[in-house]
Structure formats: C-alpha cells, structure tokens
Amino acid sequence: MFLKKSCSALVFLGLSLVSAGICAQTLTVYSAGPKKLSAELIKGFEAKTGAQVNLYQATAGKIMARYMAEKNNPHVDVMISSSWGHALSLSQSGDLLPYHSPNAQHVPKRLQGPGYVAQGAAVLSIAYNTDSKVPVPHSWQDLTRPAYAGQVTMPDPAASGSALTLVEGLVADEGNKAWTLFKQLKANHIIIPGANKAALAPVLQGSRSVVFGAVDYVVLGAKAKGEHVNVVYPKEGTVLAPRPIMIMKSTRHAKLAKEFVDYVLSKQGQQLVAKQFILPARTDVKALRPGYNDIKFLHFDLANAAKDAVKTKNKFAQIMRD
C-alpha cells in the first residue's frame, strides 16, 4: 500500500492547504524493494528537494501488474524493478519517458537504455546455511547430487524477476543442458515456495540447507545481522540482475521524476544502494561486497530473453509440475 496519503485523498479529507501547486510536488514511486533502501532514498530525496513521495512497495511482479491494471488511469511516475525484462518490455511498448541522467556517466553502457538505467544490481548465487551438514556447494550442478536431496529451495521465476533472469541466463548459456539441470533438481526434491524471501526462509530456519538462485544482497544482509548463512558464486558462472529505474511516459511530474532519478544515481544515492549490499550502478562508488570484477558472469542477450519470458516461465513451471 502507499506509505503516504495522495493529494486526492487529502483533498477528500478537506485539507485546504493542499493546492494544485503542492500536488505538483508529489511523486509516486513503485519499487520492488528492498524496503529499507526505498525508505532511505525517499527520505534523502524529500530532504533535498522538499517534495513528497508516495511509495508502493511490492515484488517486481506485483508492481508491474498494478501498473498494467491502472494503465487507463496511471498513477505511477517512477518505477524501480528487480527485472531488467520489465524495462525492456516497457521501453519497446513506448511506455517510458526517454531520459539520460547526467549522473549516469559512470554507469556501464550495458546497464543503460533510452528510458531506463540500473539503480544497482544483484548477483544470483547459491546461499547455504553454514550450520547445515551438507557439503559447501561450488556449482549449480552440485545441487543435483544425492547429498542435497530434499535440501534445496529456489525462488519462483513467475514471482521473482531475478530468478527469471537466472533461468534465462542458464538456458542462453547451456540450452537443453539447463533444462536437464532443472529436471534433475526436481528429481532431487527441490521446492519452489515463492519469491526470494520465501525461498530463503527455510534455509534461515534450518529446515532446508541451500537456495539455488538466491539474491546475494539479501543473504549478505542477513549474514551481517548474524544469520548463519553465506553465498557462493558458482564456478561455471552466474548472472547479473540489474535493477532498472525508469520514468513512465504518462507521468505528470516529469521534472520531479528526473530529479529523483538524478538523486538515485548521485554519489549519495548510490552509497545508500551500496549499504544494502547491492552492487551500485556507478563504478566509481565502492561496493561493500564482491564487485563486477570479482565474479564470473554469463553474458547473454537480455532483450531476446525478455521476448521469450512467458515461454521460459511456462516451461520451467511445467518441469516443476511434472
């Protein structure tokens, strides 16, 4: 739900101080977490500009669904997703306002588009409970071994944009071998309990030992709070999951929306991103975890993958149902 009352709600309540001018200084942001980062970015932006921000916080799938449901009467000005595919599809459909922030000069070109840019990026990893008795895994394929039977969870690609990116990357890299891998994981009694937090919860609780495709910053954050978990970046490579920030073409507050993007990409904004163990989009802002040059990445055509996203999700779901 929105964290602040909209101008229309305040007018309804009869607050005479709310004028059209004040409403023009209210920005609506839909964000796919993490909650603490969203709150800190908004707090900093409001302090800097004097503007107000209405925030709707949910999973990437839910914020996209809300946008589509409201498309005839859109409310959102800026969207932050955990799915790069959302940015690509919205750009292709003409839903985004083209904007290139001057603060994006230190963001790699592959993390930019005509109407979107990475706020930061996650890396998909293997997360494991350090108190568990299973061996420390080193590759995706390790998790198909008998030692991990009934011990593995995975986020659902239908609910997690980052999990979908991982499936797309593995399929792009290995083709049918990747689908065989998922079949082997199914045979090894993997469970797909929901989005990222739902997949991590059984491992934190100790009822399962390993997450296939954990969002690394979530695990690193839990580790920093004292949870007995750690991450492994598989030796055969993994995928980068950029988190796009984009301005909707339907915005009525384009100037303020651009200022918000500028703030998120400022050094101050990027340091807030880094504090959550997310890779900052800017390469001149220090990451507080393994960085772009420390991990082996699988490189694939994200645009082509986005075109086949529905087919990919359906095929994965079919494997896990069979």
**CA dist 310 → 26, 89, 134, 306 (Å):** 35, 12, 34, 8
Residue with the bigger pLDDT between 34 and 14: it is: 34
Read off the pLDDT band of 59 (50, 70, 90). confident
193 and 315 part of one domain: yes
| CATH number, residue 255 | 3.40.190.10
**Among candidates 73, 72, 92, 74, which has minimal Cα distance to 30?**
74
Read off the pLDDT band of 306 (50, 70, 90). confident
Determine the pLDDT at residue 271.
98
111 and 148 part of one domain: no
245 and 234 part of one domain: no
268 and 216 part of one domain: no
Query: How far is the C-alpha of 35 from the C-alpha of 156, rounded, in Å?
Result: 20
314 and 200 part of one domain: yes
pLDDT tens digits, one per residue of 242-253: 999 999 999 999
134 and 84 part of one domain: no
Q: What's the whole-number mean pLDDT along residues 20-48? A: 85
Q: What's the whole-number mean pLDDT along residues 17-27? A: 54
What DSSP letter does each residue of 131-178 carry, written as one string? TSSSPPP-STGGGGSGGGTT-EEEE-TTT-HHHHHHHHHHHHHHTHHH
Mean pLDDT taken over the chain: 91
252 and 229 part of one domain: no
- Vertex 226 angle, CA 221 and 230, to 5°: 60
Torsion over CA: 87, 91, 95, 96 (sign): positive
Determine the pLDDT at residue 159.
87
196 and 252 part of one domain: no
Count the domains in the chain.
2
186 and 157 part of one domain: yes
Is the per-residue pLDDT at 1 higher than 60?
Answer: no
State which residues form the domain around 31: 7-121+241-280
The model carries a pTM of: 0.85
Neighbours of 308 (CB within 10 A): 14
183 and 301 part of one domain: yes
Asked if residue 217 belongs to a known ligand binding site, the reply is yes
